[in-house]
Amino acid sequence: MKNAAIALILFVMIVAFAACSGNGYVDNELSTGRIFLYGELHGSSATMDRQLEIWGDYYNNYGMRHIFIETAYFTAQFLNMWMQADDDAILYQLFEDWRGSPKHNPHTLVFYRTIKNEFPETIFHGTDVGHQSHSTGQRFLRYLTDNNLQDTESYRLTRENIAQFQRFEYEDSHAIRAYYKPQNFIREFDKLDNQDVMAIHGMGHVYLGDFLGYSGVPTMAVVLQERYGDALQTFDMTHYARMRNPYRVDIITINDIDFEASYFGNDGVRFGNIVGREFWRLENAYEYFRDSPSAEYVLPFDNFPMHVEVGQVFVLDIHFDDNTIKRQFYRASGHYWNNSPSTQGFTP
């Protein structure tokens, strides 16, 4: 009921937002540039390598200079400062702030250092709510205060970004992010006038449909498409992160039957009070569970770290921040959710 109520309120807010209701952002003149929006599974080194190749092409051959990333506004500002610095002190501070998130990954350092070394005129724009407000956000406010910059747009936007995160944290609802992210994106993009940009965000914000788990709450891509039409192009990069081979093969016993279970690791996702999901694929198990009662939950294919095919069965252990674990079962039987191929939960 809480999620449904929040979703209804946010839907009304987003419709008003898309209709240019005078919130101070969308009344700006629309940029005539294009948006190349890439959806990823966070933390994949193969995905980041491919993103560097794409950005190199955009940067060198098409003159693009702006990347929109799924970070806080103030994090992107620190990255822009680091791009002009002689050392990596700022980057190391940010990396420490990212501890516990998929960005706290050694290849993240490689990704940003490569951009600084090979594409030095790159400018970052942060579109997310103010994650790391208590660390990065407060440090950026201190920097602005120490330099007598309290009357600047940077100071105002940092305070707004922190307030967005506080509301997100208070409501404990990712639908709050689904409301603020397109606002932040549009504000930054429309400042650029006739500039094409590359944007990198989690796939959950990039597909065209409702935000996962919140019926009636559109994704960021839907809001951007309503505003910019064909100037928005979306790309699914999740296949770059798909594992071909499991880490190991376990045995999982269900109803006194032992099944071989290929283990594909913990994705480390942080979503509400979820702090990670472990994935197994049960081998040769579909016929046994074909007629098991369906559960109410679904999980799109793009959430899985491995390739998913119809006729497969999966076991997920959901880890929560109170150290509890919940086991769920999914089967791929041709089900679609929000026009995306999805697995359907079931009770074995």
pLDDT tens across 317-333, in order? Answer: 999 989 999 999 999 99
- SS3 label, residue 160: helix
pLDDT for 272 equals 67
Q: Cβ distance 322 to 275 under 8 Å?
A: no
Confidence class for position 271, pLDDT limits 50, 70, 90: low
Q: Which of 85, 100, 83, 169 is nearest to 128 (CA)?
A: 169
pLDDT band at 315 (very low <50, low <70, confident <90, very high): very high
Residue 331 host element (H or E): strand 325-331
Is pLDDT above 90 for 147? yes
256 residue type, one letter = D
What pLDDT does residue 27 have? 55
Angle, CA of 260, 264 and 265, to the nearest 5°: 125
Q: Are strands 248-254 and 197-202 parallel, antiparallel or unpaired?
A: unpaired
| Distant-in-sequence, close-in-space partners of 49: CB < 8 Å, separation ≥ 6 | none
- Looking at residue 268, what is its pLDDT? 74
In the chain, how long is the greatest CA-to-CA distance? 69
Res 299 pLDDT > 50: yes
Neighbours of 101 (CB within 10 A): 16
* Mean pLDDT of all residues belonging to the chain: 88
CATH 3.40.50 in the chain: give the residue spans: 2-240
How does pLDDT run across 95-135, given as a tens digit for each residue?
A: 999 987 878 888 999 999 999 999 999 999 999 999 999 99
pLDDT of residue 15: 41
Task: State the DSSP code for 134.
Answer: I
Give me the count of residues in the chain: 348
Q: What is the pLDDT of residue 19?
A: 40
- Distance, in Å, from the CA atom of 313 to the CA atom of 308, rounded to the nearest integer, reads 9
pTM of the model: 0.71
Residue (of 142, 141, 166) closest to 154 by Cα position: 141
Pairing state between β 336-337 and 325-331: unpaired
Q: Mean pLDDT check: name the lowest of 30-34, 224-228, 231-235, 314-318.
A: 30-34
Q: Return left, alpha or beta for 275; rule: phi > 0 is left, psi -120 to 50 is alpha, else beta.
A: alpha
- For domain 2-240, the question of CATH label 3.40.50 is answered with yes
Average pLDDT of the segment spanning 10-26:
41
